Amino acid sequence: MALNDLPLHGAPPPQRPSRPAASPTRWIIVAAVVVIAGSFLALRWMIRSQPEPATPTPTRATDAGVPPRRPRPQAVDLPPLDQSDAVVAGMIHALSAHPLITKLIGSTGLVRQATLVVQQIGDGKTPADPLNALRPASRLNIVGADQGPIDPATYARWNAATSALTSIDPNDAAQLYVNTKTLFDAAYRDLGHPNGDFDEAVVRAIQTLAATPPVTGNPELIRHADRPGYFEHVDSQLASALPVQKQFLLIGPDNRQRVMAWLKSLAAALDLKID
């Protein structure tokens, strides 16, 4: 799949080189934004204290237990999956008026598209086609002609996308997600998971991004000899990473840290275990 800013590959990519790709952070934004849609109001879920247990027997230790963090679904009348765009778009707008989010909710089939994006990220693929409208306007630069580290100034291209995601409170996101989970479960079943639970896809996507190989400093890239504008990692470990992980590296260390912190907070609010 051709990448708009840095089409990294190990073997020659089978996709059309002319097709631009979307920002990895923005993939994450689409996945996260639509996953959290599910209420007409963005209500913050507040952790309620578990009631005190009955008076314990003096000679025995008692365990109060750990209350689940996952919020309870609120009563929301949801339309059928294929008629949910207008409602979902309104829900998302209630969460954030960030310009990038406003742009995202202008597409059709929001829940189906988001479900596909999350599944593809979990599979390590780059979901560029569903997010083609969000391709970056500029391209990546390296320090050097044919080989060199990524220009640190390039990372600033992803600041707005990262800010769009983190403008949404993870606890609000968790409440909204559980309210509309039936829509995502239905879309996930249509992708070939008849007994599936969309929670599983969310966990896999977060785990895939979390497993991105660590880097020190700016990764060094080499220009592809036969495909102008295409690069590959010099480091063999990075060159063998999954396509979506290579793209995740391009948002820069600060943005990666912010995105992963947000995703892990969302997982914690949903009581989803991320290894």
Binned at pLDDT 50, 70 and 90, residue 27 comes out as very low
pLDDT of residue 243: 94
Beta strands per DSSP E along 44-116: none
Give the residue-averaged pLDDT of 22-36: 46
The larger pLDDT score, comparing residue 129 to residue 159, is at 159
Where helices occur in 69-109 by DSSP H, the ranges are 85-95, 99-104
pLDDT of residue 84: 95
Burial of 22 (C-beta count, 10 Å sphere; 0-12/13-18/19+)? buried
pLDDT at 155 over 80: yes
Which secondary structure element, helix H or strand E, spans residue 239, and what is its range? helix 236-239
pLDDT of residue 181: 95
Burial of 92 (C-beta count, 10 Å sphere; 0-12/13-18/19+)? buried
pLDDT of residue 196: 82
Q: Tens digits of per-residue pLDDT, 202-249?
A: 999 999 999 999 998 889 999 887 877 788 899 999 999 999 999 999
Residue identified by tokens 């990038």 is 100
Q: What is the overall mean pLDDT for the chain? A: 78
pLDDT of residue 223: 86
Q: Tens digits of per-residue pLDDT, 101-123?
A: 888 888 899 999 999 999 999 99
* Least confident residue range of 71-85, 93-107, 113-127: 93-107
- Which of 20, 191, 211 has the alpha carbon at shortest distance from 124? 211
**In angstroms, rounded to a whole number, what is the distance separating the alpha carbons of residues 3 and 16?**
10
Binned at pLDDT 50, 70 and 90, residue 75 comes out as confident
Give the residue-averaged pLDDT of 161-178: 91
- What pTM was estimated for this model as a whole? 0.75
pLDDT of residue 262: 97
Binned at pLDDT 50, 70 and 90, residue 1 comes out as very low
Q: Pull the structure tokens for residue 130.
A: 């569903």
pLDDT of residue 186: 97
